[in-house]
Amino acid sequence: MIYPGQEPVGYQDLAAILRERVTSGQLRPGDRLPSERDLSQTYGVAAMTARAAVKQLRAEGLVEAVRGRGVVVRESVEPEEVVVDLGDWVSARSPTPQERRDYGVPEGVPLLVIAHPDGLQDLYPADRYRVTFAQVRPD
């Protein structure tokens, strides 16, 4: 709750509070996050602020929306390593609805796009993969 003289809580502040509850184990995988209404009342913020905080956590892959349950804490996954070669380009973008289904990407999680010099691309869900760059050995 916000009191006179207290700094207002923005969406990033609220996301940090919720993130800490997840990383500390106070909220465990499968636990529901409080509703936007409850977050608004508890922290004295607008519903839009609560929504933006939850959206941030979804983009980070910490939580996901589950039909019939609301927003729940996701099981943590150790990301797999993807090695990017010299000449490859790395970018990120939102998946299409079909890509979301094909790759099992939760709402709010981007795809990593590895573009190769030959024009081919590889797609990886950003919550399950991390990019490392191939080491160039001096001759």
| pLDDT tens, the chain, 139 aa long | 444 455 667 899 999 999 999 999 999 999 999 999 999 999 889 999 999 999 999 888 889 888 899 999 998 878 899 999 989 999 999 999 999 999 988 877 899 999 999 999 999 999 889 999 888 766 6
- Residue 43, CA atoms < 13 Å, CB-side half-sphere: 27
Q: What is the DSSP string of 68-96?
A: TTEEEEPPP-PPEEEEEPTT-EEEEEPPP
Please give the domain boundaries of the chain with CATH numbers for all domains.
Answer: 11-73 (1.10.10.10), 80-133 (no CATH)
What CA–CA distance (Å, rounded) separates 11 from 2?
Answer: 14
Q: What SS3 state is found at 36?
A: helix
